[in-house]
A and B are shown apart, each in its own frame.
Chain A
Amino acid sequence: MIEAKNINFYYGDFHALKNINMAMDINTVTAFIGPSGCGKSTFLRIFNRMNDLIDKTRITGECIVDGENIYDKSIQVDELRKKIGMVFQKPNPFPKSIFENVAYGLRVNDMGDNKMIAQRVEESLKDAALWDEVKDKLKKSAFELSGGQQQRLCIARALAISPSILLMDEPASSLDPISTSKIEELIHNLKKDYTIVIVTHNMQQAARISDMTGFFMMGELVEFSETKKMFLNPEKDETQNYITGRFG
């Protein structure tokens, strides 16, 4: 289980996340939805401490992953980020070959010899549903791939170092509908092996792919429930207003 306990987060004086409590089961997909600026991406970045890279930020509360508070002083952030992979909105392959993009994390972390790396690259590309499309051109530049393929390559790259959790910040928002559909199907298939947390502006996407959904507004977690319940009969009026488009 991954758990956020009494999380408060500040950008300088701005109170961006207000007393968030959330527990996510392993091997589930959790979606964060909410209007722009509500704090969902900030909250996503709590789990791999990417907010540490931003100046003048402050966090209180606990974030428990595998029984440990990841904000404890003893935590090695680099090791944490091996366990918790991240995929961003815009595909960001390295200026390297397809193979080397996936192998990079393995090489940098000294995770095996060339034979093991090649095997792991193939497994990761298969897990990302990209292997069949690229197996004959692994030495080609990653930039020769389409947007949807590049995003799946980024997912393969994240999977290569065997994380247990995958954070995805609007992974399909810059993609065409067919690529989006492939990414969604991929997420659905990945959850049997990974715990996935996804930020999305697309409510229908959240409904299609997630088991649990958290609705954020102005830094607060308004409602967190089974996706089925949220989209059939949400508890809070604010949630209903948002998902039906009445909000604002």
Chain B
Amino acid sequence: MKHTEREMQSLKEEVNQMWKLVISQLEKARQAFIDNDIELALEIMSREKRVDAFELKIDSDCENYIALYSPVAIDLRLTLSLIKISNTLERIGDFASGVARHILDDDCNKVEPKLIEELQIEKMFDMLIGMLSDGFVALESENTKISGKILAKDDEVDKIYHNSINILSDYLPKNPAQIRCGLKLLLLIRKLERIGDHCSNIVEEIVFYVDAKVLKHSGQKISKI
């Protein structure tokens, strides 16, 4: 392998490590939410700095790669995609940290378990972790076919989010004592919905890298390409 290829491999490996860290943050956020685990929530928030550090390093290393090696074609697409993917992973990391802050908020401990179940928050978490993990595989294997699965899951996440608005609209007037935590819960669900959007953005970058196709703002689905 030439040294330029080794440098590119090293960039991909950095993004992989960041990706694994963010998946771990999201898994911990899920567990902390289910168990109302404050210690775990604090751990997630302290690890957030590592996610940020990864983003800064990857940005810097990609800049250097562009400056030194003037990549073109697939190498250029990959470098640009890695920059955007790491920025997006950092945003997902922020949201995972936001879930942790939600757990630390006293207002949010009073929610009825039955409501949580109805809102399908645990299912949202499971889908998002699946999407992130599938995205990781898609980039590793340069397989845009897996990407279709991820985009389909984002649609489901969106449905759960919209449904949660209906559920809470119905529930909160009947349970005014829960309004404050209900609203905060909606913000949490919104964060999870945004994670789904970010996972889709990552898919778009992978498609750009592998197939040189631009999906963003086109309304195109991978299955139609």
CB distance from A28 to the nearest CB of B (A): 14
Q: How far is it, in angstroms, between the C-alpha of A41 and the C-alpha of B151 when the chains are bound?
A: 57
Decide if A188 is an interface residue (CB 8 Å cutoff): yes
Residues 67-102 (chain B) with a chain A CB within 8 angstroms: 67-70
Of A188, A207, A227, A228, which is within 8 A of B3 by CB?
A188
Residues 109-167 (chain A) with a chain B CB within 8 angstroms: none
Contact with B along A205-235 (1 / 0, CB 8 A): 0011000000000000000000110011000
Closest to B63 in A: A232
* Chain A residue contacts of B68, Cβ below 8 A: 207-208, 227-228, 231
Let me know if B67 and A185 touch, CB within 8 A.
no
* Chain A residue contacts of B3, Cβ below 8 A: 185, 188
Decide if B2 is an interface residue (CB 8 Å cutoff): yes
CB distance from A84 to the nearest CB of B (A): 25
Let me know if A207 and B70 touch, CB within 8 A.
yes
CB distance from A22 to the nearest CB of B (A): 21
Let me know if A232 and B4 touch, CB within 8 A.
no
Residues 1-19 (chain B) with a chain A CB within 8 angstroms: 2-4
Q: How far is it, in angstroms, between the C-alpha of A207 and the C-alpha of B68 when the chains are bound?
A: 5
Q: How far is it, in angstroms, between the C-alpha of A231 and the C-alpha of B64 when the chains are bound?
A: 8
Contact with B along A182-216 (1 / 0, CB 8 A): 00010010000000000000001001100000000
Let me know if B64 and A228 touch, CB within 8 A.
yes
* Chain A residue contacts of B2, Cβ below 8 A: 181, 185
Besides the known contacts A207-B67, A228-B64, 18 further A-B residue pairs in the complex with CB atoms under 8 A apart: A181-B2, A185-B2, A185-B3, A188-B3, A204-B70, A207-B68, A207-B69, A207-B70, A208-B4, A208-B68, A208-B69, A208-B70, A227-B68, A228-B67, A228-B68, A231-B67, A231-B68, A232-B63
For this complex, 19 residue pairs linking A to B, each with C-beta atoms less than 8 Å apart, are A181-B2, A185-B2, A185-B3, A188-B3, A207-B67, A207-B68, A207-B69, A207-B70, A208-B4, A208-B68, A208-B69, A208-B70, A228-B64, A228-B67, A228-B68, A231-B68, A232-B63, A232-B64, A232-B67
